[in-house]
């Protein structure tokens, strides 16, 4: 089962809700569409797209829509015809459009007596809504609470299709004092969504109207008595172990969606609820393939922070490195250090692999992993060329599994902030982008596999340029690459023995005895990319004889401009009332490696592609491939 949460329970913006939910191990959000910001009649195409983008950025999905409309629920015949049924159908239309399978709602209090006119009024409305929902492959789910499970089942048995149950165990306990385990076994075939909530009952009632009222509010509610109290998960009267086992027994494997309707610290309360539920949900099992500096410096620290993830394998062609990685992130007696990645892929317990090898193995292992039933997060660049990238994309589609690429800058706070500014139109139409990634005498791992074209595929363009180009494509959105032109140089570092750097960047990777040092990739690159909406020109250097560091991206718009510092903040240049204005915004900086892994973990569970999904990197791979072909041919190439 998966863990979800009511988005409204966070009491924050949807962007912050998504990031916070992912951090807590939550993979689905229930969005309220009855009223409010995302009310069905307020949902423009633009708002739908933004909501979908916000969710997919971190691999989250909509667990269900909440369609509560309040009084008179579905207990008034006139209101049903004029308001409730038409609006319910509009909700179904929205769910169908967005690919959401479930809409939950309170329908009012179902009378025990099926001959009661109210029973017929409510059932008639739900029959019509259910038929419409079934036509659109959507289930309208009645939230439990006001009546006994037996009454609800009798009601549902008279509806041909399209109506199910959103089972809230706390409502059963708090309102009518029914055992939710009993209710699960009784309503099993109808359950399509659940709420994770807990509570205590203080005064037993026989009629749910004492809590939920009636359309004309003529029923005197027992407001003078304390009937129930909502409490933290595990602190109330819901027998969670037995309840969750009952859900498994009836074949339910969907969402446990946390709903918190009270409390002064909503996020803390949701975090406690998520931690409580995580102990009952399966743990993801990872294998790390390639245990060098990137794995140890970025991936292992992020993975160690994740909830419900454990590392079973660390793999490297140098066993000592695998053993050190296992000591850092493994479980004694469980995690194995191995030399052959095929052993990792052959283990059915492994859910996903993290590939941190040299470039020539990225696509080879990614494809094998997918075909072996494992999701994959592979370091950048995607592969040695565009065709390799297409092969991984094909394997991901064939298997239905997630293949992400380690373009970690897509999760950088500054990149996210700049994207938001540009999307808002503050700098107008962006027509050109210039970026620089230049260093003084800093060739990394010179002489080893990092500067060996057969292993790395390229030099500074593949190492740093890929991040800059990919950030630009991500920030500016859809654009079609047209042509690429580049010049690459290896001048300063070609004399490996006499190459001199001010300080050691990092040592060359270990070579086999007798192997000669190799440095046959570019240390300097300059180029131009034409796209159908804008152009990109750039210079990049591992080594140059100019002792200045230049790491930035300039976005040139017709109303303003932005300079984004590499993995840092940005400056906004605009004009207001004929006065030139420069702003340096402050914003919260997130750990982008951790954010990258949060998104990947959610995506593995939900199968919802994130911003780092292979298909979103194909343009980047195409452009890199074109730039290297251009440099080799000495001419501009078409993409």
Give the tens place of pLDDT for each residue, 576-585: 999 999 999 9
Give the tens place of pLDDT for each residue, 370-417: 999 999 999 999 999 999 999 999 999 999 999 999 999 999 999 999
Question: Mean pLDDT, to the nearest integer, of 490-515?
Answer: 72
> Measured between alpha carbons, how far is 222 from 206 in angstroms, rounded to an integer?
12
Neighbours of 596 (CB within 10 A): 27
The answer to whether the beta carbons of residues 527 and 627 sit under 8 Å apart is yes
DSSP H or E stretch at residue 390 = helix 386-399
Question: Mean pLDDT, to the nearest integer, of 12-35?
Answer: 94
Q: Is the dihedral of CA 343, 349, 352, 356 positive or negative?
A: negative
Q: State the pLDDT at residue 633.
A: 97
Mode of pairing for the β-strands spanning 535-541 and 430-438:
parallel
Cβ-proximal residues to 635 (8 Å cutoff; 6+ apart), any chain? 485
pTM: 0.91
Q: State the pLDDT at residue 218.
A: 54
Question: Mean pLDDT, to the nearest integer, of 164-185?
Answer: 94
> Measured between alpha carbons, how far is 73 from 106 in angstroms, rounded to an integer?
7
> Measured between alpha carbons, how far is 40 from 90 in angstroms, rounded to an integer?
7
Range in 156-170, 219-233, 488-502 the model is least confident about = 219-233
DSSP H or E stretch at residue 456 = helix 453-456
Domains of the chain: 2-278 (3.20.20.150), 284-409 (3.40.50.720), 420-589+612-638 (3.30.360.10)
Percent of the chain at pLDDT > 90 equals 84
Q: State the pLDDT at residue 487.
A: 98
Give the tens place of pLDDT for each residue, 192-225: 999 999 999 887 776 777 677 666 655 555 555 6
Q: Is 86 exposed, middle or buried (0-12, 13-18, 19+ CB in 10 A)?
A: exposed
């Amino acid at each position: 089962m998966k863990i979800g949460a009511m988005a409204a329970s966070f009491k924050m913006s949807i962007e912050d809700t998504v990031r916070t939910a992912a951090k807590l191990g939550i993979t689905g959000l229930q969005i309220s569409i009855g009223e409010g910001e995302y009310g069905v009649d307020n949902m423009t195409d633009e708002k739908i797209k933004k909501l979908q983008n916000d969710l997919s950025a971190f691999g989250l999905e909509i667990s269900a829509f909440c369609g509560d409309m309040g009084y008179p629920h579905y207990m008034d015949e006139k209101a049903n015809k004029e308001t409730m049924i038409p609006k319910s159908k509009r909700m179904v239309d929205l769910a169908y459009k967005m690919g959401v399978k479930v809409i939950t709602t309170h329908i009012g209090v179902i009378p025990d007596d099926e001959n009661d006119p109210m029973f017929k009024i409510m059932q008639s409305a739900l029959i019509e809504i259910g038929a419409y929902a079934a036509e659109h492959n959507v289930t309208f789910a009645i939230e439990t609470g006001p009546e006994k499970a037996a009454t609800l089942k009798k009601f549902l048995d008279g509806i041909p299709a399209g109506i199910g149950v959103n089972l809230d165990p706390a409502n059963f306990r708090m309102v009518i004092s029914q055992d939710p385990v009993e209710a699960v076994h009784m309503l099993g075939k109808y359950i399509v969504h659940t709420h994770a909530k807990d509570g205590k009952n203080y005064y037993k009632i026989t009629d749910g109207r004492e809590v939920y009222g009636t359309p004309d509010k003529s029923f005197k509610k027992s407001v003078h008595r304390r009937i129930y109290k909502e409490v933290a998960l595990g602190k109330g009267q819901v027998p969670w172990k037995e309840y969750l086992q009952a859900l498994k027994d009836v074949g339910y494997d969907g969402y446990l969606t946390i709903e918190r309707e009270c409390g002064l610290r909503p996020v803390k309360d949701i975090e406690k609820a998520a931690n409580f539920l995580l102990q009952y949900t399966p743990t993801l099992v990872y294998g790390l393939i390639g245990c060098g500096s990137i794995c140890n410096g970025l991936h292992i620290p992020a993975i160690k922070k994740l909830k419900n993830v454990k590392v079973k394998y660390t793999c490297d062609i140098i066993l000592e490195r695998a053993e050190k990685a296992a000591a850092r992130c493994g479980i004694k007696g469980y995690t194995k250090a191995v030399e052959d990645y095929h052993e990792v892929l052959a283990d059915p317990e492994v859910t996903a692999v993290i590939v941190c090898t040299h470039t020539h193995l990225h696509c080879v292992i990614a494809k094998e992993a997918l075909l072996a039933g494992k999701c994959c997060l592979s370091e950048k660049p995607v592969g040695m060329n565009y065709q390799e990238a297409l092969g991984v994309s094909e394997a991901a589609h064939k298997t239905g599994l997630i293949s992400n690429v380690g373009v970690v800058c897509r999760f950088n706070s500054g990149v996210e902030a700049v994207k938001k500014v540009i999307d808002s139109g503050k700098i107008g139409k962006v027509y050109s982008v210039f970026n620089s990634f230049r260093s003084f005498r800093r060739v990394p791992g010179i002489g080893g596999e990092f500067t060996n074209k057969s292993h790395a595929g390229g030099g500074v363009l593949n190492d740093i340029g890929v991040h800059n180009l990919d950030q630009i494509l991500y920030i500016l959105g859809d654009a079609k690459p047209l042509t690429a032109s580049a010049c690459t140089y290896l001048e300063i570092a070609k004399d490996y023995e006499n190459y001199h750097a001010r300080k050691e960047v990092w040592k060359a990777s270990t070579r086999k005895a007798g192997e000669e040092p190799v440095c046959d990739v570019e240390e300097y690159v300059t180029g131009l990319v034409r796209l159908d909406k804008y152009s990109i020109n750039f210079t990049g250097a591992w080594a140059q004889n100019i002792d200045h560091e230049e790491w930035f991206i300039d976005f040139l718009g017709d109303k303003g401009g932005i300079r984004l510092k590499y993995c840092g903040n940005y400056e906004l240049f605009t004009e207001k009332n004929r006065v030139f204005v420069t702003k340096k915004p402050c914003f919260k900086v997130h750990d982008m490696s951790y954010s990258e892994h949060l998104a990947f973990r959610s995506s593995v569970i939900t199968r919802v592609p994130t911003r780092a999904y292979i298909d979103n990197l194909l343009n980047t791979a195409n452009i890199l491939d074109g730039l290297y072909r251009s440099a080799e041919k000495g001419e501009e190439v078409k993409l």
